[in-house]
Amino acid sequence: MWSRNGKKIKMEIAISTNGNSLDSLVDQRFGRCNYFLVIELLNQEIINFKAVENEGAKQGHGAGIKAAQQINKLNVNFLITGNLGPNAANVLNQSEIKVYQGTGNIREVIEKFNNNELKEISQTVEGHSNTETIKEKSDERIFFPLINDKGIDSDISTHFGHAPYFGVYDKVKNELKIIEMKLDHTNSTKSPVDQIIETVNPTTIFALGIGARAIQLFNEKGISIKTGNFKIVKEVIENWDKLDSQIKSCAYGHN
């Protein structure tokens, strides 16, 4: 908690991350991140940090709840992550930990936190009774570039940045939303990747064809990219555990 010594103010922040150093990226997946980086600040300066393996990542189910329980035990003041599911939020509410949304490099995110530039994630969710069994959910939000709007049977575009439609599948709600979204490739202040993140805030991207620059930008934001030889949204969701990580600008959909 806060401690004061004269004008000195001390606090501890936990950040979901894909690595164990200050140069790591914020992982947008709270329950499935590899580590929590616990950072100690004194007058907004980093004076100490430690990497703690996320116990939730080892769970078959209930990753978000397990991770939130671990955060409570770390006795931090704040949490910075990408997305937070309702069950995890319920657990964090018990310790009154404020949660903020962040992307990119850990050092940059801390600077934005100090400057009050991070958006607070609302944790106002419906409570569960003591006798109610909490349903297992994931906070995954999967982004798809689409050729058409046919719901769960929509066809996935092989041209990521020029797809006429975009879909986001929310695993918490088991719901797919499809929108028309024309990316402005001439915008000098916001890249297409930034436009996507600002509009739908995904945790994971599925792509059949995607350029190296887009892969780099998504990785810098801590957003993973998946690919596989599946042509419609329904197939991807049903075969999620069989997908490959996309690290090169090759494509299943291109000959």
Structure tokens belonging to residue 39: 């950072």
Last residue of a domain, one of 59, 89, 120: 120
64 assigned to some structural domain? yes
Last residue of a domain, one of 120, 149, 171: 120
127 assigned to some structural domain? no
17/87 same-domain check: yes
pLDDT recorded at residue 95:
80
Q: Are 227 and 243 in contact (CB under 8 A)?
A: yes
pLDDT recorded at residue 82:
86
Structure tokens belonging to residue 177: 């939303």
10/116 same-domain check: yes
Kindly report, residue by residue over 52-86, the tens digit of the pLDDT. Answer: 999 988 876 778 889 999 999 998 999 999 888 88
**Alpha-carbon torsion 133, 78, 52, 115, what sign?**
positive
Q: Is the pLDDT at 179 greater than 80, yes or no?
A: yes
Q: What is the pLDDT averaged over residues 140-160? A: 92
Number of domains in the chain: 2
Position 216 confidence tier, pLDDT thresholds 50, 70, 90: confident
Kindly report, residue by residue over 84-139, the tens digit of the pLDDT. Answer: 888 788 888 878 889 999 988 899 999 999 999 998 886 544 433 333 333 334 46
Kindly report, residue by residue over 180-210, the tens digit of the pLDDT. Answer: 878 888 888 888 888 888 888 888 899 988 8
95/197 same-domain check: no
Last residue of a domain, one of 65, 85, 120: 120
95/156 same-domain check: no
Element (H or E) spanning 194, and its range?
helix 192-200
Q: Could you tell me what percent of the chain has a pLDDT over 70?
A: 85
Q: Average model confidence (pLDDT) for the chain?
A: 82
Residue 221's domain comprises: 141-245
pLDDT recorded at residue 92:
85
**Alpha-carbon torsion 169, 171, 172, 173, what sign?**
positive
167/206 same-domain check: yes
Kindly report, residue by residue over 154-171, the tens digit of the pLDDT. Answer: 999 998 888 999 999 988
245 beta partners: 226
116 beta partners: none
7/110 same-domain check: yes
Kindly report, residue by residue over 12-21, the tens digit of the pLDDT. Answer: 999 999 889 9
241 assigned to some structural domain? yes
Q: What is the pTM of this model?
A: 0.56
pLDDT recorded at residue 181:
79
pLDDT recorded at residue 115:
93
Measured CA to CA, the distance from residue 156 to residue 147 in angstroms comes to 6
pLDDT recorded at residue 126:
42
pLDDT recorded at residue 6:
52
Tell me, what CATH number does 116's domain have?
3.30.420.130
